[in-house]
Structure 1
Amino acid sequence: MEAGVRSYEEAFSPYWYPVAFSHELKERPLAARLLGRELVVWRVGSGVAATQRYCAHRGADLCAGEVSAEGLRCAFHGWTYGQDGRCVRVPSQPGAPIPARAALASFRAVERYGLVWICLDASSQEALPEWPELESGKVATVALPRLDWEVSAGRLMEIILDVTHLSWVHKGTFGNPEQQEVLSYEVARLPGGLRTQITYPALSPALEGAPPRVDKTTLTYDVTLPFAVRLSFKPTLFFQHTVYAIASPWSEEKAQCFYFSSYHPAIKQFPDIFVKSELAILEQDRLIAEGQRPKAHPLDFSGEVHVKADRLPIEYRRGVIALRTGRPVDGPPPE
């Protein structure tokens, strides 16, 4: 590792990441993985709890256990753990003191935006992304199944932020192959993120036998570092909606993505249209992203050649590298 570069786990542990949709976490404990750690998540009276996945006694998988009034009970010998990870019951020795080492590493966990979020760093002051419209009650949401990509969280985010690939990669979905030039745009650096806006002549979906039509669409990207983006689509012919994508890093070379959209609840047909079209669009992205090398997110720009149209992914990578190095990072001068 280069001098002055923090490890992947150290650099990104202070941030919050989703590990499940809220509807996935029911009465049974749920397995999760984050930054190389194997976790188990379960419901408690005050919300959700998260600890290491394997029992301190004999290494049994706590995902096979069950939630009781006392806490999470291991299916192997009944050892039970509270929300803070400490063992509260050893059935084989009910009258004996519980060993001090009978404890699990525990982590902060919250529910927000229909997601279960975890932060691995107990001392972190970082906040979740701020998307107040999702809590206003004025919009409905629809989610895609979790996306498992064999690529780093940073690479996954970069292809979502890449404005120059739309006409090439997304032929047959919304990409307009007649529009290859990317007009000049600016990127604003904000505390903890980035913002930009472009206009793209997308092809609207072919509906009821009618051919696709060019639909002038305003795309507004609001990035929250390290791995979250809110992307607003304002077309002229189709439905206005906003997409939220959060990459949750399993490791430096693999990530899950939690991807959902908000829309006006009066648009009854939106969920079916969105899921079908977005899965097709993201499959086009996945095939490209998983073929990129290196799979890990680059820590510099020396192995690639960038142009002015790449300004958004350039600025994004600057921000991520800054988190790894602890200092501002300048990208290459676009040609």
Structure 2
Amino acid sequence: MADGVRSYSETFAPYWHPVAFSHELKERPLPARLLGTDLVVWRTGSGVAATQRYCAHRGADLCQGESGPDGLRCGFHGWTYGQDGRCVRIPSQPGVPVPPRARLSAWSAAERYGLVWVCLSPQPAAPLPEWPELEDGSLATVPLPRLDWDVSAGRMMEIVLDVAHLSWVHKGTFGNPEQQEVAAYDVEKLPDGLRARVVYPALSPAMDGVPPKVDRTTLTYEVRFPFTARLAFKPTLFYTHTVYAVASPVSEEKMQCFYFASYHPRIRNFADMFTRSELAILEQDRLIAEGQRPRAHPLDFAGEVHVQADRLPIEYRRAVSALRLGRPVDAPGQE
């Protein structure tokens, strides 16, 4: 590893990352993997908890156990753990004090926006993203199935933020092959992220004999470091819908993305249309992203040649590289 570069896990452990959709976590505990760490997430009487996946007694998989009012109970011998990871019950010797070493590693867990989030550091480096429009009851939401890609979370974010690929990669979905030039656009630096706005002549595919239709759509990109993007689509004559993509780093070269959209309830059949079209769009992106090398997110620009149209992903990479180097994200960098 280059001098001064912090490890991937050390850099991103202090941030909140989603590990499950809320609807996936029912009575049974769920497995998760975050930054190379195996977790089990489970429901408590007051919320959610995240602890190490394997029992401190004999290494049994706690995902095969069950959660209840008293905690997470191992399916092998019934050892039961509280939200803080301490063992609170050993059924085989009820009258004997629980050994102090009978405990699990435990991490902060929270539930918001229909996601279960985990932070692997005692003190989060940043709060959860603020998306107030998802909490005032005015919008409906629809999630996609989790996306499991063999690529780094940063690479996934870069393709989401890439303006120039729309007309090339997304032919047959919404990309307009006649619009190859990318007009100059500004990137606004936020305290914890970036924002950019572009107008793109999106092309709807031909359907049922109806020819393709061009709609000048305003795309507003907002990214929160390190791996969260919100992308609002405003067609000329239609309601806005907003896509949320949160890439969760399984390891330095693999991620899972929690991807969903908010939309006006008056849009009929939006959930079905969005699911079909967005899965097709994301499959186009996956094929490109998984073919890039290296799979790990580059820390610099030495192996690539960039142009003005790449400005948003360039600024994003500068910021993530600064985090790896332990520098402020607005520090001068090299290109």
Structure 2 length-normalised TM: 0.97
Which residue does the alignment assign to 2:209? 209
Bigger shift: residues 13-22 or 198-207: 198-207
Establish whether residue 257 from structure 1 lines up as the match of residue 257 from structure 2: yes
CA contact (8 A) 1:315 1:331 kept: no
CA contact (8 A) 2:172 2:205 kept: no
Which residue does the alignment assign to 2:132? 132
Please give the root-mean-square deviation of Cα atoms over the aligned residues, in Å. Answer: 1.0
Q: For 1:70-115, what per-residue CA distance to the aligned partner results, in whole angstroms no more than 9, with x for missing partners?
A: 1000001110000000000111111111111100000111110011
Which residue does the alignment assign to 1:31? 31
Query: What is the SS of the residue equivalent to 1:318?
Result: helix
CA contact (8 A) 2:154 2:297 kept: yes
Query: What is the SS of the residue equivalent to 1:319?
Result: helix
Establish whether residue 159 from structure 1 lines up as the match of residue 162 from structure 2: no
**How big is the shift at 1:208?**
4.3
Which residue does the alignment assign to 1:291? 291
In structure 2, relative to structure 1, the CA distance for the partners of 1:82 and 1:141 (3 Å cut) is same
CA contact (8 A) 1:194 1:316 kept: yes
Alignment of 1:166-177 (within 5 A): 166-177=166-177
Q: For 1:168-190, what per-residue CA distance to the aligned partner results, in whole angstroms no more than 9, with x for missing partners?
A: 00000000001100000110111
CA contact (8 A) 2:173 2:281 kept: yes
Letter in 1 for 2:181: E
Which residue does the alignment assign to 1:181? 181
Which residue does the alignment assign to 1:41? 41
CA contact (8 A) 2:16 2:124 kept: no
**How big is the shift at 1:126?**
1.4
CA contact (8 A) 1:204 1:237 kept: no
Once superposed, which parts of structure 1, at least 4 consecutive aligned residues long, lie more than 6 Å away?
none
CA contact (8 A) 1:49 1:108 kept: yes
**Structure 1 gap segments, 5+ residues each:** none
Q: For 1:107-146, what per-residue CA distance to the aligned partner results, in whole angstroms no more than 9, with x for missing partners?
A: 1111100111111111224101111100010000001000
Letter in 2 for 1:68: G
Q: For 1:2-59, what per-residue CA distance to the aligned partner results, in whole angstroms no more than 9, with x for missing partners?
A: 1111100000011101111111100100111110000001111110011000000110
Letter in 2 for 1:330: G
Letter in 2 for 1:123: Q
Letter in 1 for 2:242: T
**How big is the shift at 1:212?**
1.3
Bigger shift: residues 202-211 or 320-329: 202-211
Aligned residues: 332
**How big is the shift at 1:237?**
4.5
**How big is the shift at 1:215?**
0.8
Distance 1:125 1:256 in 2: 21
Which residue does the alignment assign to 2:73? 73
Letter in 1 for 2:229: V
Which residue does the alignment assign to 1:241? 241
Bigger shift: residues 238-247 or 22-31: 238-247
Q: For 1:202-225, what per-residue CA distance to the aligned partner results, in whole angstroms no more than 9, with x for missing partners?
A: 102444431111110100001100
CA contact (8 A) 2:71 2:81 kept: yes
Letter in 1 for 2:38: E
Establish whether residue 330 from structure 1 lines up as the match of residue 316 from structure 2: no
CA contact (8 A) 2:44 2:68 kept: no
**Structure 2 gap segments, 5+ residues each:** none
Distance 1:209 1:233 in 2: 26
Distance 1:209 1:56 in 2: 63
Distance 1:57 1:177 in 2: 60
**How big is the shift at 1:267?**
1.3
In structure 2, relative to structure 1, the CA distance for the partners of 1:205 and 1:265 (3 Å cut) is farther
Letter in 2 for 1:62: L
CA contact (8 A) 1:54 1:60 kept: yes
Distance 1:283 1:237 in 2: 28
Structure 1 length-normalised TM: 0.97
Letter in 2 for 1:60: A
Distance 2:269 2:103 in 1: 49
Distance 1:277 1:243 in 2: 13
CA contact (8 A) 1:204 1:238 kept: no
Bigger shift: residues 62-71 or 247-256: 62-71
Establish whether residue 83 from structure 1 lines up as the match of residue 83 from structure 2: yes
Distance 1:241 1:306 in 2: 30
**How big is the shift at 1:240?**
2.1
In structure 2, relative to structure 1, the CA distance for the partners of 1:331 and 1:239 (3 Å cut) is farther
In structure 2, relative to structure 1, the CA distance for the partners of 1:329 and 1:93 (3 Å cut) is farther
Letter in 2 for 1:50: A
